[in-house]
């Protein structure tokens, strides 16, 4: 169906992103999967093209384009090429907004040039063993000591944690018995600070091209100048960015489901069974037609949500609806497409298998499907 989400500038950026992905990502992707990460030099190359800093102010080497649609284009082009830029996506769409919204002038001067150049890599450390979606239950502490905070605690499931130069840590700086959400603060822990260690690199069933780590903080002395925003306001900051984070997941879900259909069409047209192309069977046609319809429905919902977000009007409940619908759709569509590959669909040499394993986490991170339903139900007054 015709889309009216993008301008000529977005389409020009699409050509830039497509060219970079085809030349710099696709040929090396199998090696990155084996290594468990995208190499740092690729982030720097993305910085040279302007992709890493497209939303950062021009005075720091960025593009000054405060428009979420550029991120949508980048995800769509990665999916088109049957790859993902998961760690890049996390840095640009999940973590960078915290710096853009809450970094002061001194912090911007200190960090933004490296962020734009792709030479400073980031991670956000929210989740702890046992807390999951309960951010108010964070147990990592940051105790003020003169001009510093002393940070102690542990974080897990941290995307990009093994490579990050700057880790935005959610820590408790005070306790209010009547309000569990009060007293959380964002502190930027830098690589090399004594007491900050990276633990296990977690082995996942999918998303092999991004590292996921456990992080430990033992008496880490963090300067007060590394606090993002105001002390004690982190819960509201986290909530402010959750709508975009969930929208980001939905963008990837729709783009990857669309790519699964394209891969299934190509395979079934070339694969023969009983002397006939699999694509000629009525079951194949019906399955792909149904999948295509689901993707178009999700795309329409998603594009509307992206437009609302660009206008600053996407509500938390609507972001939850979009994430719930698009990620559940992704699971259904990719599963049905994999079935058309038969036994080959189970082999990792075919991209459909990677799409299948990568898709499973979409219904978990940035809030599980169950959490999305709770948010939606509350918006209904239930």
pLDDT tens digit sequence for 254-272: 999 999 999 999 999 999 9
Tell me if residue 245 is catalytic.
yes
CA distances in angstroms from 324 to 129, 217, 329, listed in the order given: 24, 34, 8
- Listed residue (251, 306, 204, 325) closest to 90, CA to CA: 251
Binned at pLDDT 50, 70 and 90, residue 133 comes out as: low
> What pLDDT is stored for residue 137 in this prediction?
79
Q: Write the pLDDT tens digit of every residue in 145-159.
A: 999 999 999 999 999
Of the CA atoms within 13 Å of residue 144, those in its CB half-sphere come to 11
Residue pLDDT, tens place only, 61-98: 999 998 999 999 999 999 999 999 888 999 999 999 99
Decide if 211 contacts 87 (C-beta within 8 A).
Answer: yes
What pLDDT sits at residue 132? 65
Angle at 88 between CA 52 and CA 150, to 5 degrees: 95
Tens-place pLDDT, residues 16-70: 999 999 999 999 999 999 999 999 999 999 999 999 999 999 999 999 998 999 9
Q: Which of the following is catalytic: 77, 93, 214, 245?
A: 245
Quote the mean pLDDT of the chain: 95
Q: Where are the alpha helices (DSSP H) in the chain?
A: 8-20, 29-35, 40-49, 69-80, 86-89, 96-102, 105-117, 234-270, 282-310, 316-340, 351-359, 369-379
Give tens-digit pLDDT for 174-223. 988 878 788 999 999 999 999 999 999 999 999 999 999 999 999 999 99
Does residue 134 have a pLDDT over 80? no
State the Cα angle at 155 between 154 and 159, rounded to 5°.
Answer: 155
Q: Which pTM value belongs to this model?
A: 0.92
Are β-strands 227-228 and 148-159 bridged in parallel, bridged antiparallel, or unpaired? unpaired
């Amino acid at each position: 169906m015709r889309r009216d989400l993008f301008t000529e500038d977005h389409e020009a950026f699409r050509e830039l992103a497509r060219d970079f992905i085809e030349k710099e990502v696709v040929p090396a992707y199998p090696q990155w999967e084996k290594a468990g990460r995208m190499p740092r030099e690729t982030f720097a190359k993305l910085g040279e093209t302007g992709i890493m800093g497209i939303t950062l102010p021009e005075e720091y080497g960025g593009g000054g384009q405060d428009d979420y649609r550029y991120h949508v284009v980048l995800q769509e082009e990665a999916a088109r090429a049957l790859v993902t830029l998961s760690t890049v996506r996390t840095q640009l769409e999940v973590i960078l907004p915290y710096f853009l919204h809450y970094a002061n002038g001194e912090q911007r001067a200190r960090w933004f040039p490296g962020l734009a150049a792709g030479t400073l890599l980031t991670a956000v450390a929210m989740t702890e063993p046992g807390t999951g979606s309960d951010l108010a239950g964070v147990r990592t502490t940051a105790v003020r000591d003169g001009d510093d905070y002393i940070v102690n605690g542990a974080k897990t499931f941290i995307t990009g944690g093994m490579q990050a130069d700057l880790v935005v840590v959610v820590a408790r700086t005070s306790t209010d018995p009547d309000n569990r959400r009060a007293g959380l603060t964002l502190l930027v822990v830098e690589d090399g600070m004594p007491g900050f260690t990276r633990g296990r690199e977690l082995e996942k069933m999918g998303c092999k091209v991004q590292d996921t780590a456990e992080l430990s903080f033992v008496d880490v002395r963090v300067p007060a100048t590394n606090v993002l925003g105001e002390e004690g306001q982190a819960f509201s900051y986290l909530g402010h960015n959750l709508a975009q984070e969930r929208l980001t997941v939905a963008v990837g879900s729709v783009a990857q489901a669309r790519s699964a259909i394209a891969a299934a069409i190509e395979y079934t047209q070339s694969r023969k069974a009983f002397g006939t192309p699999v694509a000629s069977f009525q079951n194949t046609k019906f399955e792909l037609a149904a999948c295509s319809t689901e993707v178009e429905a999700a795309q329409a919902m998603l594009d509307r949500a992206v437009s609302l977000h660009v206008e600053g009007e996407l509500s938390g409940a609507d972001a939850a609806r979009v994430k719930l619908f698009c990620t559940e759709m992704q699971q259904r569509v990719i599963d049905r497409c994999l079935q058309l590959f038969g036994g080959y669909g189970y082999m990792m040499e075919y991209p459909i298998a990677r799409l299948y394993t990568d898709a499973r986490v979409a219904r978990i991170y940035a809030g599980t499907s169950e959490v999305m339903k709770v948010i939606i139900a509350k918006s209904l007054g239930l």
